[in-house]
Structure 1
């Protein structure tokens, strides 16, 4: 009888111990967790430009952060995004739109957790190149004439905006007018200096990359993005027919799909 009582106590003790100290997650279970997706918006936009993509990625179980890009300087913006990356454990897929592509190119900075780069109508500069240089390397860009008179900053710098009445045709021609009216009013300015600042070492030389862009992009000519994708040795490049510069807004399905493909390689 005493032995049965002892056995019962031992079993109860083991059950209590397992509840208090649950068994460790198996290596196989850890490997099944999905990488984090960090989205970096570009000039004349904000984090809400990723709303459709965020919804689709979260529905697939991905942890997602749409970082607020300061749009002040390449070095400073990259350092800010790098601090966001440093706060994340495990593999990361880093995504940049437009000028945000320059930022992600510089933000990796040796972070081994960044396993993939996705350029969404984004710049992928080599060391020493600027956004202004790359956008003017091929014909077709029409941003210059649509810019409003610069806003002079206290430090003497200049903030750039797109004229609101020209915003849709220039930036988001395939997005409904009611939506682009809001986007134009809420656009985030970029400094003139940031667009003319030389990029540092190119992360795409050591991190696999994917590219997607719109056929009718008026900010960065399609030929320029195709050139950068080929130079980077992109794993996959998608040209969305009829799409504007904000391809993530007008075609979130296709952008999320490509990010998912990049994420599948990052596990």
Structure 2
């Protein structure tokens, strides 16, 4: 792929998704473009670029962005965040709060929001709290992976990090052709609402306030202006005292005065 063509793709991806691709990412981009060209039966990157530009729905560009920023995830990833969340939820419940809202901003295939649901549910049951309205909003840029998340079906090995007691309580074995698979129970699935969202979009349809926000291991793909803008948008939709959880290798320190550093990968809305 010629450098000029690469630069056009790079600008398009950065403008739409906030993802900054350096010259070292040319092999990755070339591979992803080749995959989409094969699927669409196109012969050259220039033809593919033309198709993206003519696609008024923006779906094809979304497919390309998603293929570049695919995130590896699993249940109870970076478990200390969920311990922190449980303590925060218990604190809110003890204050008498009856409405809980948590946002999983880059939910991928659903492991993160379903883990959040288990943790929130466990906190509610631990305190014996009644009439608590607890909901998790889970968003992602990929409509394909959102369909998988809504189904809540996983292979047995995918839930190996879930404590055995929670496996038994919140997952049910599946038959009818799905060998060694389980499905998240209806109780948890009803707690989670999945929606398509581009974090670099002009507007967010949700208003908040959220009692916690998870945006982990996704901002590493964004340039600094995009990260700064996003963190400030989160802050405006968070309740006072709400934590923002980012990936353990990420830092957004100094991006927003309303979200000062609390501990590694945790920022608290002031």
TM-score normalised by the chain length of structure 1: 0.26
The structure with higher relative contact order (CA 8 Å, sep 6+) is 1
TM-score normalised by the chain length of structure 2: 0.26
| Larger gyration radius, structure 1 or structure 2 | 1
